[in-house]
Structure 1
């Protein structure tokens, strides 16, 4: 069963003041951490959606096995980036059965977490599997093809959360203890670096 991964890395990091995809943590850029977690799984294709700062980011990241796409409408928010990634999957990788959506600023992401989403999907027969942290659920999250049209037609900045809310009876989740640590501001980054 083909499972694709979409890494969302199109934002302009307005609260950070510089592209957070290129910030370093433990010797790797944030985006590289997400890419390595994806590459270490058995899943393919892996699609990275860029937007703001795309040239700068592409200059630093070159992976022959990864499809980089640019969301020209990145300013419309996360939903437009998900739709950009889904368009590539439906057009070029039409045998895809599931898609895992993940982001470039969860620095504690691992291949194990991505694999766990799939194993839970297989064992619990739920068509959406989310990550659970701090009383909430979010990315990375797996969606079966049953929801591909929903993902393709998302609007606004909320990403896929609305799909999850509308179909709670078809959702399972896995624990991702450090999933709440996403880096949005210079203070977040400072705290991260000082605690590594």
Structure 2
């Protein structure tokens, strides 16, 4: 089974305030993202790990009652790679791999997650990447065999360098563009996500 790792440690520099605490139809953005991830994998997750950093205590409170574990990234200000490393270090040794999610993408879909988990089980490659109408995106699934390599990554690039290093290790799964999860980096992004969530509630 695979672990889900949600990176929720960032500084929200572009937005100017803790974006993961923004309200989204009655819940915070990070709680909605986490609930979506849990539901998308259902019983297929070994565990769900949320990596905290900036505003860790407040975000931890938002996750109360959810079936998750938290890990703290002491170097969260160094960029996404530090949070990725903290998340991988926290993953159960019994997990076969980890699917990496971004905490500011609350619209992640089971229609993406489940085919990726199936591809990982059936096709045997150590990296599974979603492709939305020709463009690579998130989440990305990494086999445990690549954890040590991922832990050497630096800066704000996450696992992108590892994905690009050897195309022979990568299996892509194609999806329609409307299934691509939307980042919340700006107020415009936030408004787009709010509108999308409202539409799904109708």
- Would the TM-score normalized by the shorter structure come out above 0.5? yes
How many equivalent pairs are there?
192
Structure 2 runs not aligned, ≥5 long: none
Aligned position for 2:183: 182
Change (3 A) 1:47 1:194: closer
Is 1:97–2:99 an aligned residue pair? no
Is 1:49–2:48 an aligned residue pair? no
Aligned position for 2:89: 87
Q: Deviations over 1:13-45 (max 9, x none)?
A: 111111111123333322122211232222021
Residues 120-129 or 169-178, more deviating: 169-178
TM-score (norm 2): 0.86
Is 1:68–2:70 an aligned residue pair? yes
* Aligned counterparts of 2:163 and 2:105: Cα–Cα separation in 1: 20
* Aligned counterparts of 2:118 and 2:38: Cα–Cα separation in 1: 17
- CA drift of 1:180 comes to 5.4
CA contact (8 A) 1:138 1:161 kept: no
Aligned position for 1:8: 7
Aligned position for 1:23: 22
- CA drift of 1:88 comes to 1.3
- CA drift of 1:176 comes to 5.9
Matches within 5 A, 1:20-169: 20-40=19-39, 41-42=42-43, 43-63=45-65, 65-89=67-91, 93-133=92-132, 135-169=134-168
CA contact (8 A) 1:127 1:144 kept: yes
CA contact (8 A) 2:5 2:49 kept: yes
- CA drift of 1:66 comes to 0.9
* Aligned counterparts of 2:176 and 2:195: Cα–Cα separation in 1: 22
- CA drift of 1:191 comes to 3.4
CA contact (8 A) 1:131 1:176 kept: no
- CA drift of 1:64 comes to 5.2
* Aligned counterparts of 1:29 and 1:116: Cα–Cα separation in 2: 27
- Structure 1 stretches of 4+ moved >6 Å: none
CA RMSD of aligned residues (A): 1.8
Aligned partner of residue 104 in structure 2, secondary structure: coil
